[in-house]
Structure 1
């Protein structure tokens, strides 16, 4: 019996929950392993959409999707149960990866290319939450790439500016994501992000999203905006108190109410749709809880970027199952319509994960508008 062709949104959703197997292991050389995320993924372009698909996770090793060896142009056929379902293209290795700083540090230890046109860096590769197993986010792999020697503990503003300029000039990067582990102190990383953004903006005209926990003082939002940060991410990850306490015991000490208050203050500075939050579906929150939170966030003007949870090797949740494609579709389809109805779209975000959209099929469900 012939398999009915899937909508692009549903195919992307299925690939991101099930992962894919690579026939040619050399194709996975530039995939993301460990680090702050997205981890254990590979960027592929499907049609005109570039997405991150798990390739180094337990579900991916059992995936029904197999990607054949690419041709000379980087195109490869994707099959499921032996039948062709799509053709994908692998982005070429970024040219800036071949450069090093004056003191010999490879550029890709300072920042990396995510998806097709977004530069990403974790400014501080250490985190107060990660220092204790009892407090660490159970899904986080921020320390893995540092332990493996693939990155630096602290990228200086000068290093980030140098790499950002090269990435724009050599690879056409269009926006940048700066995330950080949470340091000690009430600014929760806002200060180091502001210093980094100021240096990058002095070197190159590049839209920047910064990501950190909500600072204690809302005055940091104005300081970050003044430093050149265009969009802000403050990530809930999970939405119900019981799930947050179980999977992120340290970060759960910052209650959801604090996030909501900070979201309102940040939207007043950055504007509707320019503040976002990551929500990892599949950690235990129900569909109803995620959609209720999404509705609340849309009303505030915060873009709810819901992505499927991906179990990362070497973390306490490495054996936790990924969510099903049906579960994700039941969230993303109404959420996409909700976002559009609120006057926000991923394409309107100036920089960051929501604009990139590669870690979720959400933007493709947005494109479906209000259709059932």
Structure 2
């Protein structure tokens, strides 16, 4: 087996099984709750940075364990007690030590994901979150807010201040702006426009915005004009029965409505600059995910398929993650489909697909 295939299999299995930490304080802080890769920690494996679950129930019983950090920063990774290689944990960024003039720590406004992407949830609440009969069952957007690890509304001027510092001090190369859904019209696009405009006025950094499909496609032009380079609109699940069970409110917009919005967005942002998250392991079959991905690729949309990770404090906290074999059955053919279509993670200007840390998908593109 080649070294590339060995690394690919190791990353896929780590992201499915999780990792036990002997020293949780090593490297940059892990994340609990929130709207992004939650209950994860950034890990560097042979130079590639990936997000690995460390706080999930499956991680607590994972065969993988990270030992204590050595003098050179290397950490021994073992599987069932046998050494399988060395890993590293990226250091906490320097901008985390700063705060705004009115006393808000920068890390409560935006956080480092992977090693070079700044991520923020512009609005940390959602119109559906308070009711479990409408909320997305996997979502933990309110958990980090309730724990005091973030603030509800990130002001445009604060986002600009933090982005400028992250680029200058830590070499951040692109930025992700997501949001809870504040209404059923623009669905957060207006907030994202004013936030992106402020950041781009302060620093030259590519931005991905993420929201549900707005009610009027004119918002795609407005987002582009505000400085957004790429757009994410996330399906999460692809079959009607799974969507209705897992995200009863969001599923009111069916897959066909998303497909129409994707086509409109690609016309504005360009082929390969529109993407969607698909969470494997929620009940969709591998064939259903691949069939939907084929449609997305034909539209010029990048389907970023990631393994579902159960997050504490959500109704799916006990839901098992997908195993590595299931993930490989999707990622291997999907990587080939993307390569043949000329849609590659490295060509996305900004965002989750370009970062690629939450899935081993990009390793299957080559």
Find runs of 4+ consecutive structure 1 residues off by over 2 angstroms: 25-29
Supply the distance in 2 between the matched residues of 1:25 and 1:125 (Cα, whole angstroms): 26
Alignment of structure 1 residues 1-372 onto 2, 5 Å? 7-27=6-26, 30-367=29-366
Q: TM-score, normalised on structure 1?
A: 0.96
Supply the distance in 1 between the matched residues of 2:175 and 2:60 (Cα, whole angstroms): 31
Deviation at 1:72, TM superposition (A): 3.2
Asked whether the equivalents of residues 126 and 180 of structure 2 are also in contact (C-alpha less than 8 Å), the reply is yes
Supply the distance in 1 between the matched residues of 2:47 and 2:97 (Cα, whole angstroms): 27
TM-superposition CA deviations, 1:176-234 (whole Å, max 9, x none):
00000001141000110010000000000000000000001001000000000000000
Deviation at 1:106, TM superposition (A): 0.2
Supply the distance in 2 between the matched residues of 1:260 and 1:194 (Cα, whole angstroms): 22
Asked whether the equivalents of residues 97 and 106 of structure 1 are also in contact (C-alpha less than 8 Å), the reply is yes
Supply the distance in 2 between the matched residues of 1:93 and 1:28 (Cα, whole angstroms): 6
Structure-2 change in CA distance of 1:366 and 1:148 (3 Å): same
Query: Helix, strand or coil: the match of 1:68?
Result: strand
Asked whether the equivalents of residues 237 and 284 of structure 2 are also in contact (C-alpha less than 8 Å), the reply is yes
Asked whether the equivalents of residues 267 and 302 of structure 1 are also in contact (C-alpha less than 8 Å), the reply is yes
Deviation at 1:56, TM superposition (A): 0.3
Structure-2 change in CA distance of 1:29 and 1:58 (3 Å): farther
Supply the distance in 2 between the matched residues of 1:6 and 1:366 (Cα, whole angstroms): 12
Deviation at 1:125, TM superposition (A): 0.1
Q: TM-score, normalised on structure 2?
A: 0.98
Query: Which segments of 5 or more consecutive residues in structure 2 lack a partner in the other structure?
Result: none
Asked whether the equivalents of residues 17 and 323 of structure 1 are also in contact (C-alpha less than 8 Å), the reply is yes
Supply the distance in 2 between the matched residues of 1:5 and 1:303 (Cα, whole angstroms): 23
Supply the distance in 2 between the matched residues of 1:185 and 1:325 (Cα, whole angstroms): 37
TM-superposition CA deviations, 1:37-83 (whole Å, max 9, x none):
20000001111210000000000001000111112332101011121
Query: Helix, strand or coil: the match of 1:244?
Result: helix
Deviation at 1:29, TM superposition (A): 6.8
Asked whether the equivalents of residues 298 and 339 of structure 1 are also in contact (C-alpha less than 8 Å), the reply is yes
Asked whether the equivalents of residues 5 and 85 of structure 1 are also in contact (C-alpha less than 8 Å), the reply is no
Asked whether the equivalents of residues 208 and 232 of structure 2 are also in contact (C-alpha less than 8 Å), the reply is yes
Supply the distance in 2 between the matched residues of 1:125 and 1:74 (Cα, whole angstroms): 34
Query: How large is the RMSD of aligned CA atoms in angstroms?
Result: 1.2
Asked whether the equivalents of residues 27 and 92 of structure 2 are also in contact (C-alpha less than 8 Å), the reply is no
**In the alignment, what sits opposite 1:370?**
none
Aligned length: 364
Asked whether the equivalents of residues 28 and 42 of structure 1 are also in contact (C-alpha less than 8 Å), the reply is no
Structure-2 change in CA distance of 1:28 and 1:95 (3 Å): closer
